[in-house]
Amino acid sequence: MAKGHRSQIKRERNAVKDTRPSAKLSYARVSVQKACFVLDAIRGKDVQTALGIVTYNPRYASTLIEKLLKSAIANAENNNNMSVENLYVEECYANKGPTMKRVKPRAQGRAYRIEKRMSHITIVLNER
């Protein structure tokens, strides 16, 4: 059990700031499982290799991740003054977002539920 008041604990936890360049895409209309296929392929690779992988990957999620990766690279260049040659994908993950629930009419008056899943995709870069 942590000691101190709740606000003090939160203040201490939030004081540690992550300075690594990152980019986040919220409410992406792709399921976590489908996004993870592409994210697993680029995890740990340098950014030029990762861009090549997502550019020629036929999956829909790869177009979203390509844009996100380019945004993270631009953040590293402009905000953190890092060189692109030394960057690599340190972390990349997809978290579950809200699910849109729809109804599909079926035979004999029944209705099946269609779940349109969303995800929050995050890419974190670092320098070698």
CATH assignment at residue 104: 3.90.470.10
* Residue 91 lies inside a defined structural domain of this protein: yes
Distance, CA of 20 to CA of 17 (rounded, Å): 9
Distance, CA of 25 to CA of 54 (rounded, Å): 16
Total domains, the chain: 1
Structural domain boundaries, residue 72: 22-127
Mean pLDDT of the chain: 92
The first and second tokens of residue 31, run together, are: 């399921």
pLDDT digit string, tens, across residues 77-102? 999 888 999 999 999 999 999 999 99
pLDDT digit string, tens, across residues 101-122? 999 999 999 999 999 999 999 9
The pTM (predicted TM-score) of the whole model is 0.83
Distance, CA of 67 to CA of 55 (rounded, Å): 10
Task: Give the DSSP per-residue string, 99-113.
Answer: EEEEEEE-GGG-EEE
* Residue 71 lies inside a defined structural domain of this protein: yes
* Residue 36 lies inside a defined structural domain of this protein: yes
1 pLDDT more than 60:
no
